[in-house]
Structure 1
Amino acid sequence: MTLTEISHIGVDLAAESLDKAFVGGEWVGADSGVTVAVVDPATGRNIGSVPNMGRAETHRAVEAAAAAWPVWRALPAGERSTILRRWADLITFYQDSLAELLTAEQGKPLAESLGEVGASAKFLTWFAEEAKRSYGQTIPTDRVDRRLQVIRQSVGVVAAITPWNFPSSMIARKAGPALAAGCTMVVKPSEETPLSALALARLAEAAGVPAGVLNVVTGNAREIGEVLTGSPLVRKLTFTGSTRIGKLLAEQSAATVKRVSLELGGNAPFIVCDDADLDAAVDGAIKSKFRNAGQACVATNRIYVQDGIFDRFVAAFIEGVRALAVGNGATAGTDVGPLINSGVGTQMAALVEDAVAKGACVATGGETHAQGDAFFTPTVLLDASDEMACCREETFGPIAPIMRFIDDGEVVRRANDTSYGLVAYCYTTDYRRLNRFSEELEFGMVGMNDFSVSTESAPFGGVKESGIGREGSHYGLDEYTEIKYVCVGGLS
């Protein structure tokens, strides 16, 4: 779309206008008329409301997606590509409004919200191109009178259950490949952050995504989830969230033998070797740990620093953490925004209490911030150990335990000693270590001298209890296609 064409669309993305769900190309409320308030975690202020939908409305959304699938999958890949690109262009054009909305409902600093919205557009742009590259294969024949072919076809109706911590980019990272492959979709956003999903749906409608191809239902998570996992019309479930809920959804999906993609929890080790670039390691650790107030599955969860560089790293790291500005994400200069709600702050305090009881020392932070109960002061724990809850569990908050290690074998063993396997980070200038660590660390992704692993062009996902499948890159498109073998005989 040209800038002139976009500017004449005039889509209303104000929070108060996003008060309906999107089913079958129509903006509708819940059958009961009941709504759920959406709250700004920084202020506690209601910023909007969405329909409290349940089973009946979700069934209609699934049926709408199933009805739209034959026409959408039959559309030439180039035409699906053009529509996805228009959607991406609209997101870019409205990025400021989308970022403000995201910060209002989720709390992260506005600069981070702008980055997330930008990533959403990049995912759609990438998969707009991948739509034209879903190639098949011709297999060398075993007989002269037949040909053996492999073709890729869309899975069908996809159910996407998305999290509150990245309410825009997680939808785009799923909807991009699904729609590119010719699938249709029902999205269930988090009850905490539904407005970003509805805003994306409004832009998808303006971009020309046909009725029923993309549906968004809001409300009762249990009732909606049970329909999405239980319906035989839904051929695939994609979920980003906790390992506990992922296991439950996989179990529920087994009855209809759905394909599943699960991007689950993490317990990311951040390893700093003696030969590391100290400044880069400190900067990477702070940004990886405290971005989005630590509320990210790829956030650093435990920091291992080699003995020779330990004291210098700790001093620089604490200085950097104390300099972080905590406040409302909508306020200029804020580095760390609120947690998603005050209940998470209580969980953070309990993790600090557990660590101190087991011998840790609070070097800085460790308490609720003066900004309010939803804010927790960025915290550094020294004398931490692998047995502490903050090192065994996914913290999902601004707590950084730091531990000392002596040799490579020791730290690899300790880093791998977890049921999670999403991402690990390592800083070293020794190329031999770099190669060895990248192979020996049991994680789906390894950031070597780089804390920012997520990009539309690379496969994102974990091993062990951190998930199944990959998102992003051409591997992400494969998740939404079925392989069909065609044997053509009688050719001689």
Structure 2
Amino acid sequence: MATGAGAETLLIDGIWRNAHSGGHFPSIDPATGDSLGEVAAGDASDVDAAVRSARAAFDERRWLSIPYPQRAKILFDIADRIEAAADELAVAEVRENGMPVAMARATIANGAQAFRYFGGWIGKIHGQTGEIGAGDAFHGFTLKEPVGVAALIVPWNGPFMLACHKLAPALAAGCTVILKPAEDTSLNTIRLARIVEAAGVPAGVLNVITGLGSVVGQALADHPDVDKISFTGSTATGRRLIEASAGNFKRLSLELGGKSPVIVLDDADIDMAAPAIVGGIMSNSGQACHSGSRLYAQRGIYDRLMAAVADIASKLVVGNGLDEATQMGPVISQVQFDRVMTYIDSGVAEGAEVATGGRRRGGSGFFIEPTILSHAPADARVVREEIFGPVLSAMPFDDLDWAIRQANASRYGLAGAVYTTSLSKAHQVARAIRAGTIWINTHRPTDFWTPFGGYKESGWGREGGAEGLDAFMETKSVIARLH
């Protein structure tokens, strides 16, 4: 892949090219601050060219005219090619994102599996048939059709995997695509696009535009010939996409922010719960929308649980993700580093106690110690607002109903977790928390058949499963007179 000034990182109608403006920007290694290469800074004119390409490919049925067994085979081939390049892709993911290499390997494997799962749907997408009214004068059926041109806007916290999670169902549904990676993590998404090309996806079916979200993302949101946007990112950006979509009533899938509560009852197995809680917040340096960032522990076990959580967090190996021993890497950028440190300072100022962490780690890169804030006030900013960093805010409680009310006292509703040995209480809490995913005695496991998405300001729609595929489709009713 070309790097340096004028890097050819835009894919439009099967041709890799420079940005129309000639502009570019660096991709930075968050562990060292070094430049990894230059990325083309696309603008509205590049977006317009990509949309024209995707529209022509859709109207000409370049993808849908391929028999469905061959389309499925292409998606399976993409998965095989990802796995064949897994080591290279994992190292590249670490260098751009900072995550530990073991986690990077898992995300690359997960991305490959996305193409296998959704590839398996091709050929199984069917409508329904039935009688219309009384008698046999009419026959009705429904068709499932691709929504059209889909813009996929991918975040920086799991760039390769999340690009696969969007691209695989879009292709399975029959859409044509403009893929926009985050400006902090564009290079590995470009590698994915080259894999997709090599597997035989026709020109124009996949287009890639790198650049700033405020420029490229906005142009995609405003474009009248984009039919669908799938976006993962901040709630603030999601709100702007909703406003922009009004121009042509774009279909939107929005997987947005989170402030996921974790409720631990006094009958919980602390030896099992403590490491799961730490993993639920510190994985990927807390840079995951479903991270368990609010901990409510029943008072009878609060002190013991907090001691165990703080001990485990303090012993996490923080460092460059390329080191096999590393358990937690840096946050993505200086901007994110400053944001997280400001939140830690505000938590302390509002009365929280630092059980462990709270400081910078090392003299270079964007490393923050795993941070546990104990006895945080329920109305503190660190409890109410999404931090997107390795910071857990913990509070004791006496009454379970109070804890559930606090869990739901958030504008977010992406995920939550409950730890208890009582099956009855586990399901009581799981039903009571208003969020899209609830874990019981664990945090994070999902599968492709389990839809993922949020309530309230955590977004619209679901990714994964039949619901995730349907998000890229329209339903048409056809009714015929028989006599």
Residue type matched to 1:120 in 2?
G
Check if 1:42 corresponds to 2:34. no
- Matched position secondary structure for 2:177: strand
**Residues of 2 paired with 1:405 and 1:472: CA distance?**
35
Q: In the alignment, what sits opposite 2:114?
A: 123
Check if 1:64 corresponds to 2:53. yes
Q: In the alignment, what sits opposite 1:9?
A: none
Q: In the alignment, what sits opposite 1:326?
A: 318
Equivalent residue for 2:398, pick from 398, 406, 411: 406
Asked if 2 retains the 8 angstrom alpha-carbon contact of 1:327 and 1:371, the reply is no
Q: In the alignment, what sits opposite 2:302?
A: 310
Q: In the alignment, what sits opposite 1:151?
A: 143
**Residues of 2 paired with 1:346 and 1:403: CA distance?**
25
Asked if 2 retains the 8 angstrom alpha-carbon contact of 1:19 and 1:48, the reply is no
**Residues of 2 paired with 1:348 and 1:412: CA distance?**
26
Q: In the alignment, what sits opposite 2:101?
A: 110
- Matched position secondary structure for 1:205: helix
- Trace 1:38-437 onto structure 2 (pairs within 5 A): 38-69=27-58, 70-142=61-133, 143-372=135-364, 374-437=366-429
**Residues of 2 paired with 1:351 and 1:141: CA distance?**
60
**Residues of 2 paired with 1:20 and 1:464: CA distance?**
36
Q: Deviations over 1:62-107 (max 9, x none)?
A: 1111111122133333222111111111111111100111111111
The 1:104/1:16 distance shift into structure 2, 3 A limit, reads: farther
Specify every segment of 5 or more residues in structure 1 that has no aligned partner in the other structure, as ranges.
Answer: 1-11
- Trace 1:28-39 onto structure 2 (pairs within 5 A): 28-39=17-28
Q: Deviations over 1:302-359 (max 9, x none)?
A: 1111112112111111110111011111112111111111222222222122111221
- Matched position secondary structure for 1:72: coil
Residue type matched to 1:194 in 2?
S
**Residues of 2 paired with 1:253 and 1:292: CA distance?**
31
Residue type matched to 2:77 in 1?
R
- What is the CA-CA distance between 1:19 and the residue it aligns to? 4.3
**Residues of 2 paired with 1:366 and 1:372: CA distance?**
17
The 1:351/1:205 distance shift into structure 2, 3 A limit, reads: same
The 1:399/1:313 distance shift into structure 2, 3 A limit, reads: same
Equivalent residue for 1:20, pick from 9, 31, 41: 9
- Matched position secondary structure for 2:51: helix
Asked if 2 retains the 8 angstrom alpha-carbon contact of 1:15 and 1:47, the reply is no
**Residues of 2 paired with 1:397 and 1:222: CA distance?**
23
Equivalent residue for 2:457, pick from 441, 451, 465: 465
- What is the CA-CA distance between 1:220 and the residue it aligns to? 3.1
Residue type matched to 1:28 in 2?
R
**Runs of 4+, deviation exceeding 6 Å:** 12-18
Aligned Cα root-mean-square deviation (Å) = 1.6
Asked if 2 retains the 8 angstrom alpha-carbon contact of 1:165 and 1:295, the reply is yes
Residue type matched to 1:76 in 2?
P
- What is the CA-CA distance between 1:132 and the residue it aligns to? 2.1
- What is the CA-CA distance between 1:371 and the residue it aligns to? 4.4
Residue type matched to 2:55 in 1?
A
- What is the CA-CA distance between 1:18 and the residue it aligns to? 7.5
- What is the CA-CA distance between 1:472 and the residue it aligns to? 0.6
Specify every segment of 5 or more residues in structure 2 that has no aligned partner in the other structure, as ranges.
Answer: none
Asked if 1 retains the 8 angstrom alpha-carbon contact of 2:261 and 2:417, the reply is yes
Q: Deviations over 1:227-273 (max 9, x none)?
A: 21122221101100000000001110111101000000000011111
Asked if 2 retains the 8 angstrom alpha-carbon contact of 1:77 and 1:180, the reply is no
Instruction: Tell me the TM-score normalised to structure 2 length.
Output: 0.96
Aligned length in residues = 480
| Percentage of identical aligned residues | 39
Greater alpha carbon shift after TM alignment, 72-81 vs 316-325: 72-81
Residue type matched to 2:39 in 1?
V
- Matched position secondary structure for 1:390: helix
Asked if 2 retains the 8 angstrom alpha-carbon contact of 1:52 and 1:219, the reply is yes
Q: In the alignment, what sits opposite 1:6?
A: none
Asked if 1 retains the 8 angstrom alpha-carbon contact of 2:21 and 2:43, the reply is no
**Residues of 2 paired with 1:206 and 1:373: CA distance?**
35
- Matched position secondary structure for 2:38: strand
- Matched position secondary structure for 1:113: helix
- What is the CA-CA distance between 1:192 and the residue it aligns to? 0.3
Residue type matched to 2:274 in 1?
V
Residue type matched to 2:153 in 1?
I
- Matched position secondary structure for 1:101: helix
Asked if 2 retains the 8 angstrom alpha-carbon contact of 1:269 and 1:304, the reply is yes
- Matched position secondary structure for 1:44: coil
- Matched position secondary structure for 1:153: strand
Asked if 1 retains the 8 angstrom alpha-carbon contact of 2:7 and 2:40, the reply is no
